Structure 1
């Protein structure tokens, strides 16, 4: 049984925290593998539920890594990444060495064609690049 309101650390890391939910968790894990090949250890957190949001797990990870990347399929405006960034300003500001980076879907209507969908949604390479930008 998946506990509601409790995130799961899918991969331990010490250099950067990547938070994601749903489909983006798998892509975040792929990005973490790419980062590991470059000697960067990313902690990947699967949020599992958004309401209630397990803010404490995110804060504890940020206290360890001092960096945060939020990944979501949605648009950047008014998304979960914006909420997570605001929460980190309130609960972990003194522990952040860089601003929270949001990796979101492009600000376009969701395309139907698979090739265009791939261009509109976050990809592992973009997530890894965002994480590297914080180091």
Structure 2
């Protein structure tokens, strides 16, 4: 029996592992930068929130259901999306302001925030390359002990 297929699969598994480790440490570093940038500010963090993210435009539609940590800072909301079983991932900034915080992967412009049966529903848009896309994010805050009315404007 030839050893070449085993060597090939071993190299593929090793490369995948290295890529996942690089991604993990990159997102951990981004989170550290983010929390360093807001450390002197008054913020609330809610851990392990079910999050539905819908992104749609005339050309495509995408729906993602993930767990995330949510950071509320004045008029800004930050969503730290968990990657599969790992609690480090992209940080989305949802805001009407022009401020951009360190470590944030993508900034989304908020148009509206609504309370819908113990859920916070956020709608807005962002530019992805040259394509303007709309989004709707639903944060399931039931049983999290958070007053949704405090972030509505």
TM-score by length of 1: 0.30
Hey, which of these two has a bigger chunk of strand by percent? 2
Q: Which has the higher contact order (CA 8 A, sep 6+)?
A: 1
TM-score by length of 2: 0.28
Hey, which of these two has a bigger chunk of helix by percent? 1
